[in-house]
Every structure is written in C-alpha cells, then in structure tokens.
Structure 1
Amino acid sequence: MAWSVKLMLILVLFVLLPANLCVNQASFYGNSFISIPLKEAKGSTDIHFKFRTHLSNALIILVAGVTDYCIVRLDNTRLKININLGSGEYEVSSSSSKLNDFKWHKVHISRAEANLTLIVDNKFTTKHLPGKFFELNIHYGLFVGGHGNFSDLFFGHIGNFRGCLADIVYNGIGVLDFARHRQPQSIVQGITWNCAAEFDAHVNQPISFVEDKSFFVISQENFKNLKWQLELKTIAEYSIVMYNQGSLSKQDYFSMEIWKGKFKVTLKFGEKVTEVLNNEFIADGKWHKIFVQFLSSSVDVIVDSITKSIKMTKTHVVSLHDLFYIGGIEASKRGRAMAKGLKQSDIHFKGCMQHLKIGERMIGLKDAVITEGLLPSCVWQYPCLTWPCKNKEASCIQKGLDSYQCICKNLTCVSTDVSTSSKGTSAVDLEILTVKTLEVVEGQSGLITPNNLHLNLDYPKYGIADSGIVFHIFQFPEHGTIKINVWPEEKGSFTFHDLSKDKVHYVHDGSEHHMDSIVMDLQFNSKENFILPAHLQGNFKFTLTVHVQPKNDPPELNIPVSVTLRVAQLVR
C-alpha cells in the first residue's frame, strides 16, 4: 500500500475517534506529572491524546531510554516532536500554530520504522527519519506533563504542562486510566481527574485557597514603584499572603503576611530588616481591602483606608526574583525562605482573595505558572461568626469550608457534643465530583456507575480508600427505588467500592414520569494514621438526575365485571 494511502487511513481513523469523556481527563497545574514504568523496544509508535492550555511552551509527553527518547512538547505555540532512535535527534513540527488558545486540540503521532506522521486537528505533517536504527528503546519510563524527579538525562529546560489532557493512549496503554488506578510503580503528582474550571476563570473571579498547602505562582518582571492591591477574607490569624525570595545570591526577600490577625509587610536588604505592621484586625471572616506601595523612600500599607507608613532612611535597590508566591510557598522553596528569615514559611493562607493587582496589571488564575489547592469563586463561609449554637455556653468551631460544630465543655451544657452544619457545599461546585445523568428505560432498572458519579479528586493521596467514600441518600427518588446489593443490606448509603462493583441500581416504577432525581451527600473517611484535610471534612451535597426513556406500552383494556362488551363478528 502506498505511503499516501496509509496517511489517509490514519487520518480517517483519527477523525472517527470517540468524543472525550470526563472520566478520561486530567488537569495538570504546572507542577504536576504522571510517571509510568515502561521498558520496550519497538519499531513502531502510536500516540493519541487531546490537550487544551494557555501555555506557549510545555512538556506534554516524554519516553526515555539510555540513548533513545521521544519528546512531545509545545514550543512557541506549535506542537513539536523530538525523537532519537540512536542515530541522533530529529524534529517534526505541526503546521498548526497558536495551539495555546485553550481549545481542545486532537493529536495523533504514528511511526512505522523511519516514517513519522504528526496529525494535529486533522492537519498532518510527515517526515522520513534518516539513519539505520528504527527501534525506539525505552528504559526509564513514560512521563506526562513533566518529568518529576527524573534527572538521569537532560533534555533542556522545558516547563511543566499546565492545562488539561485527555484520552492519552501510548502504544495501546490507556495512560490516565493506568495512573488513576495506581498500577504498580506508577506515580501521580498533583493531578485531578477532570478539566478544572480554574484554567478558564475570569480575572475578576475570587480565588479560594482550600487546601492545607494552597498557593499559586505568578511571574512579574517590572519592579519599579511596586504596588500591590488585593482584597482578602479569612479567619486565619497567621499565614503567608505573598512571598518573593529575592536574588538567589543575596539574603534579600519581600513578604506580605497575616501576623496575629494583622497585615504585615517585611523587606529584607542584606542584614537590614524593615517591618510594617498595620494594626487593623483582618482575620474576622470579612472582606478587607489591602494596598501596599513600595517606593525607594517609603513603604505604605493601607488596610481599609487606615494607613501605616514607614520612611526608608536609605535608598535601597530592590533585588527581587521574577516569581511571586501567593498564599504560600511550594515545599522545595520553604527551606530557603526560612533560612532567609521568614519565620512562618510553612503556614499557607486559607480563605478567599480577589481583585489582585500588581502595578496596573490585574492578576487572575489564567496568569498563574503553578497552582495548587485553588478554586475559582469564594467557597469559604464562616457560620460561627453569627453564633449559630443554641446553647450560649457552647463553643463554635469551624468545620471544613462552610460547616460548624458546637461543643459543650462544662456540665451545665445540655449536650457534650452538639453537631450541626450549614446548608452544605455542593460537591460539584467544589469540583470534587462530576455528575452524569443516569439513563433508564421506563419500568426497568439502571446501574449507577463511577461514570455517573465521577470523582475528580485524586483521593488516594489523602489516605482515602474506595470504601472510605460514602454516599448517603438524603432524598430518595419519587418515581423509583434504589437497590443496593450488599450484605448486610443497606438502604440509605453505599460506598464508592459498592459503586465500582456494580452493586447500586435505580429501579423505575413503570410510571409515565420521564424525569426523576436522587439527592445525596458525599462523605470521606481516611485510613488510620491519615488526617483528613479540613476542606474534605463534612458532607458535600449533590443531585443525580435520572432520565427515563419512554417505552411504547401495549394498550390495556379494563372492563368492569358488570359491563358487557359487544364486538362485531370477525373484528380483530
């Protein structure tokens, strides 16, 4: 068969690939990666995937051997393949450019010995690889989104991927499914199993810092007359708001913190440390406007129109790094920050920020280089501020993002442990769960599967097993029943393990109602020796919609016993 005909067949098969499902997506946040052990030597290569990103340059896929390798990356908004089969590196670039528009782009890479084909959005590029070696010998494994701690070979400074990847298949291996189920020796770092909303968030949307180690990183290169503006809401009395590590060769740094519930700015130049503490209390769960201006002669810190200013006795040249950490510092940088004098380098911000501005530049999640533990919109609520406990002697404690617990400590209290929660955060809004409508034929049953209740959360890293994910039925369906095939019999709850084992069914009652719904909440229980993080505590509500497909039932004739039905002879 002619090579051009083969190309056409590849193109047709590529077009007919099934549409992407949410269950086969993953979000990469700039410091995320997947590593899968792989050893093979093949004369052919077949790679499929889809991606969407705002980045112009990023590593997408790497397979590496002792000398051989194949790199798939974005380079100046084009997709490029760098491949070495043992005779030197060769490069193939896509004809399509500007692939950083955050639209889904389909990619198919096919190699048959020396013939390499790259198809991006149905546009193909071909190359005949010179040399006498045609096997790709892989020893170190397959890496997606970044190479993690792999450093045996150096492939240049290629940044990690930030965005969404879907339907990744490498030589018949379903990469995301393999990694999600933690197949032997696979490593998953900083992944969620969806296409996160934060990548498309508007610059004016609030940002929620929900995890214990939440933060994001932005790049800013112009430091003249540095001005910061932001609004924040929190009840945390200690946390990092912003940190810049300064020049790597000096001990300088610049930080903004919440210290004893007040806003503090610290500047360190050599051995001299300048601190500005505004005495307005801001850890009260309300929005506060912050303005910080750093000039050569003074530092101004304004909180809700209250100004604290310190004059600089000497003109200093600001020597800052181009990366700013917002809300916390990633683990690899905390040691250096502490060595430079930042005392609370491991205390991350929890709460909401909005209207972030450096100079005249508005900053949003789209501008981030790295993010971890964030959500677009403000999901934090502080019910204890309104004192919801009925007993005045009880203590109100914040639980999770929007719930509370009333605890009585003395004998005059009615109850020793009165638990109450607010209306409950939506599991869908928090991107913990993606819910897909259940399709059922009228009068029949339908299996509820992980495709219907898809967990975006990479829960194994929190010490949560499938049996520790519990669904409680809060409101049963009106036109059917829920059948849970477990022993002992359960009527009102089931686990993700039950769901995975096909033990949960919806049974329709045969009525003519074609829509139904099941209101549930989701609860996590961690294994022994694991502490469940605050943002996963409590119950998370959601609704599973049931669509009933109507069936053309044969007519039924009900005639009372006292009535005689007369039918003409020979009528059918």
Structure 2
Amino acid sequence: MEKINVRRVLVLAVAFATLFLTVIDAVKVSFYGASHIVMPLQEAKISTNIRLRFRSRLDNALILLTAGRTDYSLLSIDGGRIRFSFKIDEYHTDLWSPVTLKFNDLQWHDISISRYAANLTMQIDEYFATKTLPSNVTELNVHFGVFIGGVGDFSAPYLNPLEYFRGCIADIFYNNINIFKRARERTGHVTNERVSWICAPEFDADVTTPVSFLDDESYVILQKPTSRSGDRWSLEFRTNEPFGMLLSNIPTNPRYDFMALEIVESQVRLLVGKGSNAVELIPDRNVSDGKWHNVSVTYSPMLVDITIDDVTNSATFANGSSQMIELEEEFYIGGYDLRKKRKAFMKGARATESSLKGCIKDIVLDDHAVGFPNFKVTHGVTVDCVWRYPCIEKQPCIPSGQCHHQGIIDFICYCDQAYCIKADYADSYKIFSRSDLVLEKELMMINPMEVMEGGIAFLSPKYIDVLFDFTKSGIQEAGIIFHIVQPPKHGKVTIHSYGSESNASATQMKFFSHIDLTTDKVKYTHNGAENSNDHMTIDMQ
C-alpha cells in the first residue's frame, strides 16, 4: 500500500561542484572483551616484524601473542602503558613505553616492533625504544600460532591471566602477513570469534548512552569489587516482551550468594539468595508495554527492597541468617552467556531462555553512573534505543485488525480483510507474506514520497522496494506486476508505454511492472489542491 505525502516546497537554484575522491579505508576490527582471532603458524626465525594500530580504554589487555612451546612474544597494555615481552629459550626481556605516557585514551596509536638478530626496536607513535639482545639468542620458535585480542581455549605455563582486548585494532601485520585479510576471507585456517569488521560506535559512547539488546544471546558484563554490605542499583528499561533478564549475579563458585532481576509474565521479579535463605519480590506493575520504566533495587545482609516506578516492595531475610551478603564480581545485564543460563535456572531464575529484547539506560550503581565505558564484555548490543513499538506508538492497523510487533522496528497487521493497514498510515513499513509458517516472509518495503504542490514525481524502488529475491524463484522482473486497487484522491498516476522518447505515450492504467518502476515509467501528478496528504492502494501480483 503506497502512501504519498504532498508538501509545499520552495525550490531554490543552487550551484555546486562535487569533487570525487577514491579512498582506500583500512580494515578496522572491533573486539568486545570476549573476542579473539587466531592464525595457525609454525616457524623459526631470527626476525620478527609486527605492525598495527589500536584504540582502547582498557588499563590492561592482551593485544597480540605469538606462542611456542617455551618461546613467545607478547604485546599488551599494562597499566595504560605498552609492554612487549620477548622470550627465547631461557632469555627473557621487556620493552616498555614511558611511564609518563598513557595509551588507553581511546585515540588511535601506531605500534611497530622489529627484531633482526640482536637488534630489537619498538616504536609507538613518535616514541622509540631499542635493546641489543645477547649473541646466543637465536630463532623465535612459534608452534601454536598468532593470537589477537585473546587466546580462546589456549593455555601455556608462561601465560599469566590477561584481560581480553576491548576496542579496535587496524592494519595488523605479522611478518608481512595481513592477518585481518586472512581472517575476513577465511583463508589459511584463520579463525575469529565475536569480532565485527568495523570500529563499533559503542567504544565512543558515554555512560548516558542507552543500550539496545538485539537478539536472544545479547548481554553485557559489568565487573565491580565484591561488597559484603550490599549494593544499590537503578536503571530504566523498555520492552514489550513478557520475559527478559535485566540484571543478575549468578555465581560460578557455589559458596557465593546470588541475585536476579528479571521480567516474568510482564512483571518485574527480584530474587536474592543469601546462604540458605532467599527473598522473592514481585511488584504489581505491568512493564511489557513498550514504555520506559524505572526500577531501583537495594539489597543488604538484612533487607531487600525494590521500586518499580511508584510501586515499592520490601522484605527481610530470616532471623539468624548470615551478617553479610557476598556476590561475585561479574554482573550480567540484559542476558546470560551459555555457561550462565543453566546456573541461573538452577538458582531459580525464570527468564533464562532469551535475553531482554529492548533497551536499558541510566544505569546507576551505588550513586555512580555506569555504561559502555565501564562494560567488560558486550555481545549482541548496539548504542541508543533502536527498538520501536509502532503498534503502541502509531496504531497502524485498521480498527478491526490486530497489530503484532515484528523484529526491532516492524509490525504486521492481521485482519479478515484484504487490507489491514490504515490507508492514511504515512510512515515507512514492510509488507509480509500471509502464511501458516512461523516466520512471515518480507515482501515489500513502502516509504512515503514527497511531491511539490501541483508537481510530479516518479514512483521507483526507493518508494516501493521488493525485498525478496524473485529471481531465485524463477520470476522475471517483468513478471512482478503491481495493481492500483484504489487510485490517489488528489492526483493521478500515469504509466508511460515502452518505445522511444518521442513516441512514448502516457495512459492512466491500473497495472505496471517492476521494470516500469526502475525505468521512470510510473508518474504521479498532484492536482494542485491544498491537501498535505494523499494515498493509494496497490497490490503486488
């Protein structure tokens, strides 16, 4: 169903020039705190060359490791400084950046490390450090490969625990091997885990930026020191789903206590376990309505308290219970990873099957705002609240229809008529197939068209976009036919017949093809009346 918005437009003649430039952009890769790339490699060389660029907020993180049985080279962020550790046989040495310079400032920094025979050099931006190695230091023996951002399941006696990298890395070469190129093209048996091939905007976000949880596996991890006296949390969330996880601390070690704040059957449920005692609170408030809701939680060795908007519930632990509440350091927000889901279920959490499908913002922990800069791990999230609820906010269906949200921004109207969407609905929307299948197929995307009063505009795929691949079904472009069921009220649609420009004729017809759309054959002409909106109804056959 095509909608046309008619707007009075003041047309100005503007002279301009365009300069066309060809830019070859670097390959930038985002690492999210649990990401890594592994390139298998076996070699023994007296030369080592490493080049890369990076940006991060982390004080400590692994950037790159080349691993042998006893030999290794390790590039890391250590206390905001850059450290290059180098070990061959029994010889070990470190090169450090200056104490006065910090490189965890989220700016891009260039690193180049070169070793040939006895000469070892590290350059970071404009800073140089050099060292002469003993003459008996020979080849660096690499057996297990090159690891970037993290080590996955790999372990070695010489490898102390290091935080996974969180931030962006670009232009990485090891001994002139373009590792990212191999990883992206999946050549040379290079594997990657939870990376993306951009520098994600979340690394520039601040604590006020909302978090969108996009799929069933989305979550973030926030790490804080253990407090035996309890914590105070507050946050705002938005969803229309009846189940979802908001905040939890599920222990790996069973000696620790636990807490889970979740949405169960459209109500917020707080579960706090301390020793052999547990407290459950469920305020009487429906929160699965697509609106923003504020939740505040306080738990201590004696008291548990929760407020949803203006509804407050509280409870105390049983007499004689422990005088402290001890949680582990990692809090999960919005969902669980696979290893935590079963543990959460065993503790009594009920919203474990799927992450929160919605948004969270304004997270405050013990009077301190926290957000993207503080997250240890993010997975399946993006910045800002991208979820839309048109069924609630726009009411696009006819009165007898039922509106169901579809995905992050779309909707489907169900009714017993041929056309279920309001004829005057003026926003963009998708049309889905009608079937008994669980997943409806996307057919078309409809976008509003703006026309000058009394002016003309050509219908094109910009306004009627066919989303499914009809060529795979053996359908030719000319076989996609559109039928004008209800013409516009304040204008007319004409279809130009094929032929040369001079012989082309325009007729008011009720049918046009996809080819007509792509070749400016379908023209809308406004009648000049002072109406700001017009619409017509179209079938695809």
The question of whether the paired residues in 1 share the 8 Å contact of 2:396 and 2:421 is answered with no
Q: Does 1:135 align with 2:145?
A: no
Higher relative contact order (CA 8 A, sep 6+): 2
Q: Indicate the residue corresponding to 2:371 in structure 1.
A: 364
Alpha-carbon distance, 1:421 to partner: 10
Following superposition of structure 1 onto structure 2, how do residues 389-428 of structure 1 map, counting pairs within 5 Å? Answer: 389-408=396-415, 412-414=416-418, 423=428
1:272-287 equivalences under 5 Å are 272-287=277-292
Q: Equivalences for 1:39-438 in 2 at 5 Å?
A: 39-95=42-98, 97-130=101-134, 132-221=136-225, 223=227, 224-246=229-251, 248-250=253-255, 252-314=257-319, 316=322, 317-386=324-393, 388-408=395-415, 412-414=416-418, 423=428
Separation (CA, whole Å) in 1 of partners of 2:55 and 2:89: 32
For 1:260 and 1:22, the matched residues in 2 are separated by 48
User: Normalising to structure 2: TM-score of the pair?
Assistant: 0.71
Whether contact under 8 Å (2:38, 2:148) holds in the other structure is yes
Letter in 2 for 1:90: T
Contact in 1 for aligned 2:277/2:317 (Cα 8 Å): no
More displaced stretch, 110-119 vs 331-340: 331-340
The alpha carbon displacement at 1:58 in A equals 0.4
CA 1:222 to 1:138, structure 2 compared with 1: closer, same or farther past 3 Å? closer
SS of equivalent to 1:337: helix
Identity value in percent? 32
Structure 1 residues 225 and 142, CA gap change in structure 2 (3 angstroms) = closer
Q: Secondary structure at the match of 2:282?
A: strand
CA contact 2:256–2:327 (8 Å) conserved in 1: no
Cα gap change, 1:225 to 1:41, in 2 (>3 Å): closer
Partner Cα separation in structure 2 for residue 53 and residue 134 of structure 1: 34
The alignment of Structure 1 onto Structure 2 pairs a total of residues equal to: 416
Q: What is the DSSP-based 3-state SS (H/G/I as helix, E as strand, rest coil) of the residue aligned with 1:281?
A: coil
Letter in 1 for 2:338: A
- Match of 1:397, as an amino acid? H
Code of the residue aligned with 1:103 in structure 2: it is Q
Letter in 2 for 1:229: S
**RMSD, aligned α-carbons:** 3.0
1:42-87 per-residue CA deviation (whole Å, 9 max, x = no partner) reads 2111111011101011000011122221111111111111112223
Partner of 2:508: none
TM-superposed deviation, 1:279: 1.1
Shift of 1:338: 3.0
User: Distance in 2 between the 1:346 and 1:110 partners?
Assistant: 49
| Superposed displacement of residue 251, structure 1 | 6.0
The Cα offsets for residues 458-496 of structure 1, whole Å up to 9 and x where unpaired, read as: xxxxxxxxxxxx9x98449xxxxxxxxxx99989xxxxx
Shift of 1:201: 0.7
Cα distance in structure 1, aligned partners of 2:462 and 2:55: 38
Q: Give the Cα separation in 2 of the matches to 1:421 and 1:244.
A: 45
Instruction: State the distance in 2 between where 1:131 and 1:335 align.
Output: 55
When structure 1 is superposed on structure 2, of 140-149 and 239-248 the one drifting more is 239-248
Task: Return the alpha-carbon distance in structure 2 between the equivalents of residues 257 and 21 of structure 1.
Answer: 46
Answer with 45-54 or 413-422: which moved more. Answer: 413-422
Query: Is the partner of 2:29 in helix, strand or coil?
Result: strand
Change (3 A) 1:218 1:131: farther
Aligned-pair CA distance for 1:404: 1.0
Q: 1:270: Cα distance to partner?
A: 2.8
Q: Is the aligned partner of 1:34 residue 2:41?
A: no
Amino acid at match of 1:209: F
Deviations 1:270-291 (A, max 9, x none): 3322101111010100001111
Render the CA deviation track for 1:406-434: whole Å, top value 9, x for unaligned: 234xxx43259999995379xxxxxxxxx
8 Å Cα contact 2:45/2:141 also seen in 1? yes
Tell me, what secondary structure is at the counterpart of 1:111? strand
In structure 2, what is the Cα distance between the partners aligned to 1:184 and 1:331?
29
- Preserved contact between residue 244 and residue 355 of structure 2 (Cα < 8 Å): yes
